[in-house]
Every structure is written in structure tokens, then in C-alpha cells.
Amino acid sequence: MNHKSPLLGNAVSDIINQHQLNANNLSQKRHKAPKKGNMKRELELALTVLLVDLASSDQNFDQVEYHVMTAGLNRLFGTGKTEVSALVNQAQTILKNLRGVSKYAEVLKTNLSLEQRKVILEVIDDVIHADGEVDGFETYLRHKFADLIGVSLEPHQDPNEKHE
């Protein structure tokens, strides 16, 4: 007996269509823009990753740099001190397993205005100067981060001088 049941064929087709619809909905949920609160947290974390990477570049992430970071995150996002502590811990964990910070810089570049990104560069400068020493790798990171977040440096800017 070899006859196909149209009812069974329709049921199978309906199941396959429902499965594809569910898969498409799941895919869209994964790629939706984060909600406003989540976006703020994502931006805070992205900046914290960059700043912790910078502050740790000389193998000495000290309290002064931490306080400068706290002030910078508060200035940009209104981030509180307890939130900064959690963000720094999260950033340190991320950096242990990360080969580069470009994806975090991209989050900042695509979601913040040029003016906000210029403020980020000011915060980067503040962190660089926080310990009173500017080393060559910090200068390199400053240029790299400026490029990654889409802020051009003035040709006459000397990274060893603090700009107010």
C-alpha cells in the first residue's frame, strides 16, 4: 500500500513551517538592539574594558587610576561607585581571556556621538596621567583607542602633555 495522506503531508508541512518561524524569531531576538538599560550597561562595560586595559598596561593598576576611571564613568554615564567596582571586576575577567579590545571600542563608536567619544579620549588622557608617568605603551594605546572609537587626534597634540 503506497498512498500518501494529504492530511499527514499538511501536518508535517505545518510542523516544519512552525519550526522555521520559531528559529527565525529566536534569531531576531539575538540580534535585536539591547534595551536602554542594557545598552547603558554595555557602554559602561565597553569603556571600562578599554580603561582597565590602559591602566593595567604598565603592570600597575593603582588606586589613583581607579578613582580617575570612576570619575570618568560617572561623567559619561552617571555610573555609581559600587557599579564601577563590579564593572572593573568584569572587565578584568574579560581582559584575561581577550586578544583585543576592538569589539568593545566598536560598541562605543557605533552608539555614542562624536562629542561623547571625545570625552572618552579626555578620560583616557586622565587615566594616562593619573600615576604621574606617561610611558610609550600608554601613548600607543591612546592612539589605538582614538582610532578604534573614531576620534582623530590633532596633529600637534603631544600625548605627554595633559590637555585641559
Q: What does the pLDDT look like over 88-99, one tens digit per residue?
A: 999 999 999 877
Question: In 3D, which of 60, 90, 57 has the Cα closest to residue 73?
Answer: 90
Placement of cell 508535517 in the chain = 12
Q: Are 122 and 159 in contact (CB under 8 A)?
A: no
At 52, give phi and psi (nearest 5°). -65, -40
pLDDT at 32: 45
Set of cell numbers at residue 4? 500518501
pLDDT at 9: 64
Set of cell numbers at residue 149? 572609537
pLDDT at 157: 53
pLDDT at 62: 87
Q: Which residues of the chain carry a pLDDT beneath 70?
A: 1-37, 155-164
Distances (CA, A) of 59 to 51, 56, 70, 100, 154: 13, 5, 19, 17, 28
Q: What letter does residue 162 receive in the DSSP assignment?
A: P
Contacts of 121 (CB under 8 A, 6+ apart): 142, 145, 146, 149, 151, 153
Q: Are 142 and 128 in contact (CB under 8 A)?
A: yes
* DSSP character string of 7-46: HHHHHHHHHHHHHHHHHHHHHHHHHSPPPHHHHHHHHHHH
pLDDT at 27: 44
pLDDT at 26: 54
pLDDT at 30: 41
